[in-house]
Amino acid sequence: MNEKDNVKQKQLDAYRVKDNGEALTTNQGLRVEDDEHSLKVGPRGPTIMEDFHFREKMTHFDHERIPERVVHARGFGAHGEFELYESLAKYTKAKFLTDTSLRTPLFVRFSTVAGSRGSSDTVRDVRGFAVKFYTEEGNYDLVGNNMPVFFIQDAVKFPDFIHAVKPEPPNEIPQASSAHDTFWDFVSMNTETAHMIMWVMSGRALPRSFRMMEGFGVHTFRFVNEEGKGHFVKFHWKPKLGVHSLVWDETQKIAGKDPDFNRRDLWHAIEHGDYPEFELGIQILKEEDEFSFDFDILDSTKLWPEEIVPVQIVGKMTLNRNTDNFFAETEQVAFHVGNIVPGIDFTNDPLLQGRLFSYTDTQLTRLGGPNFAEIPINRPIAPVHNNQRDGMHRMTINPGQTSYHKNSLANNDPAQVPANKGGYRHYEEKVEGRKIKARSNSFDDHFSQASMFWHSMSPIEQSQIVDAFRFELGKVMSKQVRQRVVDVFSQVAEGLAEQIAVGIGATPTKGVAAAPAAISPALSMMTKTKTAATRKVAVMLGTGYRTAEVQALLKALTAAKVTADIVAINLVPVRGDDGTLIEPQQSLLTAASVLYDAVYVSGEAQGVDELLSDIASAGFVREAFQHYKTIAATGDGVRLLAAADAVHDARGDGAHPIGVLLAGQEDIGASFFTSFIEAIAQHRHWDRLLQNR
């Protein structure tokens, strides 16, 4: 970063306290002699109210928590920067989207939607994907999700949707889960949810990592250029690592083993210099093409198929710095879809229009009044001058006697700014009509894009969607609700409804399924980028392991940017065949296969016997195999795979299962390690799933 681009970091540094050998003080700066004991009448006497230090310390503690977000309560953030590949001046006058020399600082917060702050990272849920750009023209917030559509079309139904998906009022159960009666009752009674439900039942709701999920602005926005011409635009974030998911059984186990799985993954990646990268893509439509499709472009339950409106890649976001304090930054960051800059404007999407009200309203409650923009993480790098004063937690000290507009006593300062000098001017759109509580008929189609999604999935993805429906509806106690859901999805795809019905004791309706609007290969995760970079491997070994083999393996993995943990029986240094000691990062007690992308078993007889002495070792490998992960074993390591039932192919033809690599002593070398890394890059070997069906 150059001096100019470093403004936000310097701004945050100004608020950062560096406690390096400093004297302990009260909040008033008074040096504290004793922070171990409260002031008492004698060693065993009552505490005295005179102890101002105790009162200050305890009062602060009692008020440390602020109301958590009603939605997106569990989140994790990081700092980064945005670079523009090519100027978009043809479409917008936003400076950070027209000047390719700029490096715009930003802050990203990823989140789940339904759960509380204390819930798990890996629940089945939508993921928030909110980006705050600190531009020279003010803060711009792109507040989106990892899915391009939403459950509802009109914001007036948002409280109803959230009430339905949240834990049920009588018992506050279940936490961070949509698998209960009220949510599916809402779905069955509000068929506009059908398209979004298809996304939520897919692997998109179970991301392997925040670094491996797409982001979307969801709504149709408007670009406005210097000439005042408008274009409709949708925003996309494309992860450089590809789009990959966990499997359902895995997510539930991770929730117990490491509920912080996704946030820990992001933190460690940045700490290790594996900076996550997302490319910014835009879909552009001319205003005259607004009504050229068989869906309404302002309907937030619809996407623009990439095959019809291509995504243009125009820039890149790099996340390169972790937070210094989770509360001060991630918890206090305040996003608002209404934080925009010249060159970006809104449309009449009724869900977007409602969001323009909701965000400011909720920040007033969460952050204690109207001055939340002065909190360091929210403060723009653009200068702030206006006539707003006072309010709770006011940080700015404004001199002078005027706090109104217009004024003569201060020469009418601060002054309005003409649009041609950078002042924001709303897009001049002609709007007319009668006041009416209604929705356009163009929003009536609830099923064709849900059908498109289903028919665009691979057989593997379809099977996972069916299993998701069966699990979720299997938790619904009301048979009436279960049947209504099947009725709804009978209108999406007959085959889908039939498979759901078989699992939950319902009856599908024949002959009512919508014809898919189109097939969109871009919707399938199977078509996305595959790379082994930043994946995590468990290297299992015991006493007598071949030192040369393990050292060569670790070198090859490091070169491929793959992280490896040595997993042994205990956290005790393990001696190799030449006497070399290696320090395990995990033991069989502290590790779990669900926390890794692949497993490698180093196979010297003594070491394999040692691993087999603990039944957990076979369970470790078996679970990785059942989750379709890459497994490699050398020499005697095949015995551990045999104990885990991970050697023989279900086809019974004597071939090894897909994604299982074996090597004898003479075959261990660079080519074997390359094959292992290439197999890891496949993410999972899904064909095992089809073999077992």
Instruction: Say if residue 691's pLDDT is above 70.
Output: no
82 falls in which pLDDT band (50, 70, 90)? very high
Same domain, 286 and 361: yes
The amino acid that residue 439 corresponds to is R
Domain boundary among 374, 408, 423: 374
- Asked if the structure places residue 136 within a domain, the reply is yes
3 falls in which pLDDT band (50, 70, 90)? low
Same domain, 542 and 472: no
Predicted local confidence at residue 78, as pLDDT: 98
- Candidates 149, 225, 230; CA nearest to 192 is 149
Which residue carries 């790098």 as its tokens? 381
Same domain, 227 and 293: yes
> In the predicted model, what is the mean pLDDT of residues 90-98?
98
Structural domain of 628: 536-691
Same domain, 571 and 451: no
Tens digits of per-residue pLDDT, 593-627?
999 999 999 989 999 999 999 999 999 999 999 99
Same domain, 549 and 683: yes
Domain boundary among 341, 374, 407: 374
Same domain, 265 and 136: yes
Q: What is the mean pLDDT of the chain?
A: 94
Least confidently predicted of 100-109, 367-376, 682-691: 682-691
Same domain, 328 and 475: no
Known active-site residue 163:
no
Predicted local confidence at residue 666, as pLDDT: 83
Same domain, 168 and 238: yes
> In the predicted model, what is the mean pLDDT of residues 178-199?
98
Least confidently predicted of 16-25, 230-239, 312-321, 326-335: 16-25
Predicted local confidence at residue 626, as pLDDT: 95
Instruction: Say if residue 653's pLDDT is above 60.
Output: no
Same domain, 253 and 316: yes
> What residues are paired with 224 via a beta bridge?
230
Instruction: Give, for 250, the enclosing helix (H) or strand (E).
Output: helix 248-257
Same domain, 541 and 517: no
Same domain, 598 and 668: yes
Same domain, 519 and 541: no
pTM for the full predicted model: 0.94
Tens digits of per-residue pLDDT, 400-419?
999 989 999 999 899 989 99
> In the predicted model, what is the mean pLDDT of residues 526-546?
95
Known active-site residue 145:
yes
564 falls in which pLDDT band (50, 70, 90)? very high
Residues near 227 by Cβ (< 8 Å), separated by ≥ 6? none
Tens digits of per-residue pLDDT, 342-363?
999 999 999 999 999 889 888 9
Contact at 8 Å (CB) between 187 and 312? no
20 falls in which pLDDT band (50, 70, 90)? confident
The active-site residue out of 79, 139, 145, 378 is 145
Residue 284, domain CATH: 2.40.180.10
The total number of structural domains that make up the chain: 3
- Dist CA 134 CA 356 (whole Å): 19
Q: What are phi and psi of 316, to 5 degrees?
A: -145, 135
The active-site residue out of 72, 195, 219, 685 is 72
Contact at 8 Å (CB) between 330 and 109? yes
- Asked if the structure places residue 276 within a domain, the reply is yes
Q: What tokens appear for 383 in the block?
A: 């200068």
Predicted local confidence at residue 517, as pLDDT: 80
Residue 478, domain CATH: 1.20.1370.20
- Asked if the structure places residue 531 within a domain, the reply is no
4 falls in which pLDDT band (50, 70, 90)? low
Tens digits of per-residue pLDDT, 34-45?
999 999 999 999
Query: For strand 344-345 and strand 221-224, is the pairing parallel, antiparallel, or unpaired?
Result: antiparallel
Instruction: Say if residue 650's pLDDT is above 80.
Output: no
Q: What are phi and psi of 141, to 5 degrees?
A: -110, 120
CA dist 469 to 254, 425, 473, 493, 498, Å? 21, 47, 6, 13, 12
- Asked if the structure places residue 236 within a domain, the reply is yes
Domain boundary among 494, 523, 552: 523
